[in-house]
Structure 1
Amino acid sequence: MLLTGLLPLLASDPAVAAAADSIAAGRSGTLVAPSGLRAPIAAHIASRATTPVVVLTATGREAEAMTAALASWTTGAAAFPAWETLPHERLSPQVDTMANRIAVLRRLAHPVQGDAFAGPLSVLVVPVRSFLQPIIRGLADLEPVRIAVGDVVDLPEATARLSDLGYQRADMVEARGQMSVRGGILDVFPPQEPHPLRVELWGDEVDEIRAFSIQDQRTLGAAPHGLWAVPCRELLLSAQVRARAREAADRLPGAAEMLSLAAEGIPAPGIESLAPVLASGMDRLVDLLPPGTPVLASDPERIRARAADLVATTDEFLRAAWSAAAGGAQVPLEASDASFLDLDDLWGAGGPWWELSSLPPAELAEAAADGEDAGAGSDGGVSALVASPVLMRAGAREVRPYRGDFAAAAGDLKSLAAQGWRVVVTTEGPGPGRRIRTILAEAGCPVALSDSVDSDPGPGLVTITTAQGPAGFVAPDLRVAVLTEGDMTGRAGATTRDMRRMPSRRRKGVDPLTLHPGDYIVHEQHGIGRFVELVSRTVGRSDAAATRDYLVIEYAPSKRGQPGDRLFVPTDALDQISKYTGSDEPSLTKMGGADWAKTKARAKKAVNEVAKELIRLYAVRQQTKGHAFGPDTPWQRELEDAFPYVETPDQLVTIDEVKADMEKPVPMDRLLTGDVGYGKTEIAVRAAFKAIQDGYQVAVLVPTTLLVTQHFETFSERYAGFPVEIGTLSRFSTPKQTEEVKEGLASGRIDLVIGTHALLTGAVAFKKLGLVVIDEEQRFGVEHKETLKALRTDVDVLSMSATPIPRTLEMAVSGIREMSILQTPPEERQPVLTFVGAHTDAQVSAAIRRELLRDGQVFYVHNRVDSINSVAARVQSLVPEARVRVAHGKLGEHQLEAVIQDFWNHEFDVLVCTTIVETGLDISNANTLIVDRADVFGLSQLHQLRGRVGRGRERAYAYFFYPGDRALTQTAHERLKTIAANTDLGAGLA
């Protein structure tokens, strides 16, 4: 919703008005303003400018947040996203990133007034990474495919144009950048769109264009603006590009394979790294802007530091690549035309440049003086940034952080309204807005809900509306205050465009094309073997010969000293095999031996014992009357609507199953399994809220103190604005806090408690316990099992596990009857890029600096306690700017928990640790793993360690290093070869 009604008031600020006048006159300067005021400042300047206004940010996340905030202040704002890869890497950026970049360049060069897709830009938000990276010449002139209802379309010509723009043909559209033709129906998934589009023709005329779901291919609704399909790649393999590839193949032997594929029109992964060789030229973004375009640099000090890091990291990666090439790796491409540019060469180019800083003028002047004395203007200091002729300060400040103290917030807002201030509170949805209105009204504060603030909200009133924005501001001179939901609750806004992506399709069973040599296979008759290869064989006489495909599976040798026996399984008999899912490396069985028969007999006996126990338990449960929870309440629907992601099909099914169990008069006992990041916690959040809505208490049981804190943050964020009291019990709780929580549970004041095994002691009493959520139940000690079993006959129990251990074992230790499995990964989740090689300091420092560039964190695993401190010191010397800490099992419990807690809170960047991080950590911001001496780890350990990264939307990297000065054993070589080859999603399940 819009906040444009406040713009005239904010524009009357003397500093903001003077800055706008200076920009209109073509003068540069510096304006000190809080971060929450920068979006309306940019919107005001854009309303007076004849060109788009560029807002330069230090990171891509800041660019996303700024773009979301600008949507409330102006129309026509867009971000120019950065590649996720470095220019020289042989990795392709994500297809939606490239498509969005091309769409922005098209709107910048060829705006069409009133067009829903190609309308003119008012504000262009650019992270410095995008600003410094050269752009392939001519991207803005690539013509998108445009189809509207009523158009006459030549279907073969349309599909040929889409193919030229990089769209891949598929039988069924399942991913961005794909197209499919069936009769008179054309399905296309433009990468910048949230859903694929279906174009239905009647003859040659377009009859309908509708969005549809990739999950079930069902229609979601009409697409009123039609189809606008921009190219999927920045380097399209045109005839000219293919000719250049053929010519360059001989003079660039290090890229011969990629160039040969490009010459044939096949886009190899990482083909974009060859852009300087294959494209007609490279341009600077600043040269593509209209003359006189104003540039607003948000936090210039951080922008310059990030720019220096980008250049240094790219150079370091090239040096590391050349070092690796000396040992036999691929030779890097020396494509300097694609390298990041020097910010000093671009600063001030084009139109007027203004720096939007958080530092007050006195500190800016002092920093400028210090920079001049030190000569910092040329090497990343701030003197060059503040040497502008105009320096002024807006009459606004940051909002006081309330961190969930609604009583204090209500008191302050009531006071401001009484003084005649105009106060606006923004929320991410209507539900939180209604709840905040209730809280403020009960405090006697004049408050009103509004769909939009597109006119003056009036003095003496608190107006609540829905709008995006990371932070607010307070302007005393103007008597205007804007507070965001995050300012009041203490949590950052979560909803971004990328978060609303659709989930991927459910993973299928055994697919021979996805098997890798070394994968373990279970055959119904012969047992556990190792997949070798897929071969074709011709059988039968020449007049009746038939060629069939076979999977070759190797088993243990029947005689000692002999090679392993091999089994050829035809592809039409795949129903007899399945992939091995155990967490440990298994032993191969012998073909035709008794080992497998004995194993199956033992399993059958164990199953019979489990079945007897289940029958007994089920009989007891059927006789036990539990609470039948009521149907969903309006608040339940509000909570679920506020979920910032699109639920996967597995989640939707499981949520319905859990709710149905809770609404039965028999106690629920359900196991929920799935990889980290697949949505188990959200199901627990909804189940717990359902119980609380019925007046019952909920206990969330976790195995470690760290997980107590993690779940507390998650539940607090999701329940923000709802009247839910949450407490915690762990070793970090003081005696006073522990007593308060116990008293709250006994009195019913606390609705939900999150704790470790301390919750199972007799000293903890609940007034009305209705649901127990158990995370990683298999990690609790035997002494706690009896207590857990007793709970199952009295209250509803939801158990969660991210560790896919054999189902019979899980049922044996927890008495499970019902099970739900989450196996659909989110679309943005990507396989972990895995590198195996000899250890070099250059590779280590380059990997760490690469992660720091995106504000990420690093796990560095060194599994020897006696030398771990010296290794940490070495890492610190290699990357002096990184904050490094150490964690290992010999630290005191409180000290270890504190270190892990600080890492989770991003208090430092690199955690040098032993394998204590192998399981139990969920730190989505840590997306680089470095394992020292990977040759001494088991295969299952390497998989477990790799599962620590790649849990968010960021591309994750895993580096497995071995000593370059000593020979690997055959076993170590096979392990590292397998871990390098097996990078599919789910391979690193924790």
Structure 2
Amino acid sequence: MRLEKSSFFDELVENISRQKSFTLTGLTTFSRLLLLKYIKEISNKKILFVTSTEQCGLRYKADLEILFDLKASFIPYQSVSSYELLTPNIYDYQNQINVLRKAPDIVIAPAKVLMEKFPQGEFFESNGFELKVGDTISQNELLERLVNLGYKRATMVSDIGEFSIRGDISDIYTLNDKPIRIEFWGDEIVEIRFFDNESQKSIEKVGKVEVLPLYKFILPTKPTLDLPHGLKNNLEQEAYFEGINVYQSYFNEDYVNILDYLKDYVIVYDEIVEVFSKISQIEAGLNNTYNEALKCNLIEPLRSSNHFSESEILQKTAGFQKISLNNFLSDDSNTVIDVDSRNIQIFDAEMDRVAEFLSSKKDYQITIATNYKDRVKEVLAEYGIFNVNYLDNVNSMGTEIPEAKIVLITDRELFNKRNKDLPTNRKRHYKEKAEYIENINDIKEGEYVVHTVHGVGIYQGLTQQEFDGQLKDYLTIEYANKDKLHIPAEQINMLCRYRGSGQIKPKLSRMGGSDWENTKTRVKKEVETIAYDLLRLYARRKMQEGISFAEDSPLQVEMEEAFEYIETPDQNKAINDIKSDMESYTPMDRLICGDVGFGKTEVAMRAMFKAVTSLKQVAVIVPTTVLALQHYQTISDRFKPFGINVELLCRFRSSKEQKETLKNLATGKCDVVVATHKLLQDKVLFKDLGLLVIDEEHRFGVRHKEKLKEFRENIDIISMSATPIPRTLYMSLSGIKDISIINTPPQNRLPIKTFVGEFNEQTIKNAIINELDRDGQVFYLYNRVETIEEFKLELQKLVPNARIAVGHGQLNEKQLEDVIVDFSNHEIDILLCTTIIENGLDIPNANTIIIHEADKLGLAQLYQLRGRVGRSEKQAYCYCFYKKSKQLTKEASERLKAIKEFTTLGSGYRIAMRDVEIRGVGNILGTKQHGHMINVGFDTYCQLLEETVQELKGEVVTPIKPAIIDINITAFIPDEWVGSAEQKMIEYKRLADVKNETELEYIVSEWKDRFSRIPDEVENLIKLIRLRLLATESSITLVRETADFIRVYTPFTQYEWNILRPKLDRDILRRVKFTMAPKACSDGKSIILVDSKFVSFDEIFNILSSLFYDIRKGVKVYLEEDSGK
């Protein structure tokens, strides 16, 4: 794409070469980037490209790489106001500092970045420090240095700014891309490694690492006398407290602008008037926030402003060459070069018009940027058009530059597809963690627990106890009659938190005897009914013959490759499950269950496309009109390039339009229909329905559910649910219901920051202004229709410049649709609405939600509402308010505490379980089961359901119970070795769950990496686990130490022992004695006595290991010989 033959080219070269400031006009988004490329080449200088908004900058960055293979660095701004007592986004700061210190060739910066104050470059050199292999530094000195730089000690390092010290290992997450692990020998650094902050495993050795200050200032060792009283008090409580950045002017006076880092750059403005208008607007907002915060006594007076003013920025830019890329002339335009570039018409998937347009441009350089290259190539080839260069789709709009004979067409012109917002921050990748990692520390002292053998008790804590001079960690549980049970901590897998009674306290079990077993037997009889009904329905479905869809077509592959994101592992598994179901002759009836915003709709769309390209119709039924409109827009946009006709059937459509849709369904003209319950009318007829997708089926009424059952004959069905299914219930239903679970969120999602408190106008105002300043949008949830218009007036007074619209279920169809569409198109800043948005509204640009009187909403409802934001890669915020001075009920307080506590990605499971604890189990599987679940707890109930299903299916599954190793030896995990008591509980649980030697070796290897050399007491613990694994594989149930012997309880009869005995090692046989167990013994048929007098634990370990190994080997040989007879 060359501009050399254009009439303006010589003038462009002359002005750039003479380093004059000038203006270019008549530009499209694409021509701006083309000119930026030329400015860079001609000036041979680095470029600072300033845009008015963050999204503009991100889109330009992405397009530069696709169109011209030019890599630009984007510098984000801080989304948190510098006058609010909130901690800024550390990942934004990391990006900012990395870009400024590297000074890359092209830097793209939103206008707001010009206003931010940064430390001088020398600040990092003088206050940071370097660590090298071979350096000598004590861990205490390292700790002091890190604390001085603002780092905080943590149990496990997962975020920037955290560090931990465990034995000879120190982990630090600096402003580097990855955290570092430093291994010491005494005070000497012997190794430095980068590690993965999710898996905690080391990934790369390095020779040295730089540790930079986390803040823009360093706190004095002692607060100085001239600090305001309130600030001094805060510092005495905590050094780097939440929001200390507000007071940066007290601790560093030498702040600079980004231009001080980028001194020899050419400044290129994207619409200079808009840039400085934005700066002026933000400046007014910042000044207002500061004055309001002072007036309300939220902050102390500052020494100087935390931002550069518009006039200061203009002074800073005075010495730079400045080039403005404008649509129109501005007041300060001196030299003006006009470029004749034009946007191209929207063809809206009418490919004959595209072909006609391109045919008239035969001597042009034609580029088509599309995500549907094969499809477009194939269609244009039919019109004899081949001289086209194809690229991936870009954000820029299509452009024609007649003088240069250049044409660019994008998906925007081809298919009228709108571009999505792009990610801003560098964030952590989410990796699914085992549920116990999240939940084991939920077991708190004084709470009810369930032991697999002894039943419901009260957990009394983890204590270290000494028996015969040997130390171990024990879990203590109290049962009925104050009886206490002490179990070794490595048997923690026998324990789970009791769930299921709400505010009703469960009855404590009696230790010993048959109390617990009798309770489980009674519950199991009741469970048989539900298991039988589920099995009967499943079997009947499997016996029917349905549609067998063809394997994926090339069109299917192209459609899937056009997906703009990377599928998560769970999405891929769900997609493969569905395709397998569809290609079989058995009718599919699959549930896709996933947390809010985890990509269920994309999975379903793959199935829809497969059905339509197999010449079948698809129906999507949803419980609300808002959700119907959202799905309709998403599916239409996705399928438009393939000529698939998607129609909407709900109250947003007129009677005439609805009749037309019904006619198109009957004739087959409509390929996909998205509908509410209107789809269930008797007059709805399909020409050839092949797939039904049901979203949130549990929200339909009884009558509608009965109607839906009529569909479940021979067509394929996908049900989608955002209500999380606990893994225990999922496992119990596997084999009788086809379920795909999506637990992993999309890549680079950030947890939503959640605030809970009394209604506060200033906080609300700041939250809204902060969101609007970053070009975002706000949901304001106000759930009283009768006064919502009055509240709108109050809200408008608070933020006069914001565009506010009201949305609720009592608006007529046209009004509500207009509001939703306008909000989707960013023509509205704040949507003041009721819970009508609870399901379905997906606006990636809306990343703040304010919930009025949140105490009146249920926990699951709050979680769904919070899920309306955080659906892009921006940091999202949720504010839950309740009335001032209101005394909250216990249940409301627990709900708000839970929504504040559970902010990690994929918290839906824990939210659902906490809701169970607050409200009781209720009708999770039907109200009839409520009482039975209370008796045993949710997890045990699911386990009994799983066993019953297996028995009814004729699957004789004998559960393998891990052997119990009861040998008195000092064996425990020290707190100081792993860093904390909480981490110790997690590691005990991991050990308890080990199934084989490979898993154990993985944990041991990880421990050596994370916690350094393994102490003797942990080595003993590992040996006990090895004995447990070997004993379990040898069918041994219990190994118990007594005064003179180690007693090994076996399932062997005397006859079996006689056959086995010759296969054992002679040295081992000399040390053991076989005897039959007493008849009353429930632990085994026989006992092998191992002499343990005057023998060390290591010797005992070797003897037992050899014995168990030989028994396992001998049993295997015996079975092979017996089967060969």
TM-score range, shorter chain: 0.7 to 0.9
CA shift, 1:538, in A, is 6.8
Residue 304 of structure 2 corresponds to residue 304 of structure 1: no
What does residue range 653-692 of structure 1 map to in structure 2 within 5 Å?
A: 653-692=573-612
Partner of residue 136 from structure 1, selected from 103, 108, 119: 119
Residue 557 of structure 2 corresponds to residue 637 of structure 1: yes
Contact in 1 for aligned 2:30/2:398 (Cα 8 Å): yes
**Using the alignment, how far apart are the partners of 2:493 and 2:836 within structure 1?**
39
**Using the alignment, how far apart are the partners of 2:557 and 2:808 within structure 1?**
44
Q: Deviations over 1:93-122 (max 9, x none)?
A: 4454333323322332xxxxxxxxxxxx33
| 1:31 aligned counterpart, secondary structure | strand
* Letter aligned with residue 594 of structure 2: G
Contact in 2 for aligned 1:860/1:910 (Cα 8 Å): yes
- Which residue matches 1:476? 402
CA shift, 1:856, in A, is 1.9
- Which residue matches 1:78? 73
What does residue range 462-501 of structure 1 map to in structure 2 within 5 Å?
A: 462-466=388-392, 468-494=394-420
* 1:499–1:57 Cα change, 3 Å: closer
517-526 vs 270-279, greater mean Cα deviation = 517-526
- Which residue matches 1:49? 43
Residue 712 of structure 2 corresponds to residue 767 of structure 1: no
**Using the alignment, how far apart are the partners of 1:403 and 1:433 within structure 2?**
16
Q: Deviations over 1:777-821 (max 9, x none)?
A: 112222232343233331221111112378999999999711122
Contact in 1 for aligned 2:587/2:714 (Cα 8 Å): yes
| 1:961 aligned counterpart, secondary structure | strand
**Using the alignment, how far apart are the partners of 1:651 and 1:467 within structure 2?**
24
CA shift, 1:423, in A, is 2.1
**Using the alignment, how far apart are the partners of 1:983 and 1:211 within structure 2?**
24
* 1:977–1:616 Cα change, 3 Å: closer
CA shift, 1:248, in A, is 5.3
Residue 617 of structure 2 corresponds to residue 697 of structure 1: yes
404-413 vs 772-781, greater mean Cα deviation = 404-413
Q: Deviations over 1:906-962 (max 9, x none)?
A: 331222233333444333322222233445555555444433333332222222334
| 1:951 aligned counterpart, secondary structure | coil
CA shift, 1:639, in A, is 3.1
Q: Deviations over 1:824-882 (max 9, x none)?
A: 23353333323333434333222211111122222223333332211101111221111
| 2:435 aligned counterpart, secondary structure | coil
What does residue range 480-629 of structure 1 map to in structure 2 within 5 Å?
A: 480-494=406-420, 503-511=429-437, 523-524=449-450, 575=493, 586-592=502-508, 607-629=527-549
Q: TM-score, with normalisation over the residues of structure 2?
A: 0.68
Contact in 2 for aligned 1:499/1:644 (Cα 8 Å): no
| 1:692 aligned counterpart, secondary structure | helix
CA shift, 1:171, in A, is 11
Residue 260 of structure 2 corresponds to residue 287 of structure 1: yes
- Which residue matches 1:115? none
| 1:425 aligned counterpart, secondary structure | strand
- Which residue matches 2:306? 339
Contact in 1 for aligned 2:450/2:457 (Cα 8 Å): no
* 1:866–1:724 Cα change, 3 Å: closer
Greater Rg, structure 1 or structure 2? 2
641-650 vs 275-284, greater mean Cα deviation = 275-284
CA shift, 1:310, in A, is 2.2
**Using the alignment, how far apart are the partners of 2:436 and 2:221 within structure 1?**
38
975-984 vs 347-356, greater mean Cα deviation = 975-984
* Letter aligned with residue 434 of structure 2: K
* Letter aligned with residue 569 of structure 2: P
Contact in 1 for aligned 2:696/2:720 (Cα 8 Å): yes
**Using the alignment, how far apart are the partners of 1:782 and 1:506 within structure 2?**
36
What does residue range 87-236 of structure 1 map to in structure 2 within 5 Å?
A: 87-108=82-103, 121-138=104-121, 154=133, 234-235=214-215
**Using the alignment, how far apart are the partners of 1:915 and 1:631 within structure 2?**
41
Partner of residue 742 from structure 2, selected from 813, 822, 837: 822
* Letter aligned with residue 80 of structure 2: T
**Using the alignment, how far apart are the partners of 1:97 and 1:549 within structure 2?**
44
* 1:860–1:648 Cα change, 3 Å: same
* 1:499–1:269 Cα change, 3 Å: closer
- Which residue matches 1:452? none
- Which residue matches 1:356? 325
Residue 370 of structure 2 corresponds to residue 427 of structure 1: yes
Contact in 1 for aligned 2:341/2:402 (Cα 8 Å): yes
CA shift, 1:424, in A, is 1.6
- CA RMSD of the aligned region, Å? 5.3
CA shift, 1:973, in A, is 5.5
Residue 333 of structure 2 corresponds to residue 388 of structure 1: yes
341-350 vs 741-750, greater mean Cα deviation = 741-750
Partner of residue 719 from structure 2, selected from 786, 793, 799: 799
* 1:757–1:154 Cα change, 3 Å: same
Residue 18 of structure 2 corresponds to residue 25 of structure 1: yes
* Letter aligned with residue 439 of structure 1: V
666-675 vs 515-524, greater mean Cα deviation = 515-524
**Using the alignment, how far apart are the partners of 1:56 and 1:879 within structure 2?**
27
Partner of residue 382 from structure 2, selected from 435, 442, 452: 442
**Using the alignment, how far apart are the partners of 1:811 and 1:783 within structure 2?**
30
**Using the alignment, how far apart are the partners of 1:702 and 1:28 within structure 2?**
57
**Using the alignment, how far apart are the partners of 1:345 and 1:551 within structure 2?**
67
**Using the alignment, how far apart are the partners of 1:489 and 1:97 within structure 2?**
35
Contact in 2 for aligned 1:702/1:755 (Cα 8 Å): yes
**Using the alignment, how far apart are the partners of 1:134 and 1:981 within structure 2?**
33
* 1:767–1:713 Cα change, 3 Å: same
What does residue range 748-763 of structure 1 map to in structure 2 within 5 Å?
A: 748-763=668-683
* 1:777–1:22 Cα change, 3 Å: same
* Letter aligned with residue 18 of structure 2: A
- Which residue matches 1:61? 55
* 1:317–1:139 Cα change, 3 Å: farther
* Letter aligned with residue 670 of structure 1: R
Count of aligned pairs between the two proteins = 887
- Which residue matches 2:355? 410
| 1:294 aligned counterpart, secondary structure | strand
**Using the alignment, how far apart are the partners of 1:8 and 1:837 within structure 2?**
62
| 2:630 aligned counterpart, secondary structure | helix
* 1:840–1:168 Cα change, 3 Å: closer
The unaligned stretches of length 5 or more in structure 1 are: 109-120, 201-205, 326-330, 362-384, 448-460, 559-565
Q: Deviations over 1:571-590 (max 9, x none)?
A: 767656667999xx943334
CA shift, 1:439, in A, is 1.7
- Which residue matches 1:711? 631
* Letter aligned with residue 20 of structure 2: R
| 2:576 aligned counterpart, secondary structure | helix
* Letter aligned with residue 389 of structure 2: T
* 1:863–1:636 Cα change, 3 Å: closer
* Letter aligned with residue 422 of structure 1: Q
**Using the alignment, how far apart are the partners of 1:720 and 1:157 within structure 2?**
65
**Using the alignment, how far apart are the partners of 2:794 and 2:693 within structure 1?**
43
Contact in 1 for aligned 2:424/2:874 (Cα 8 Å): no
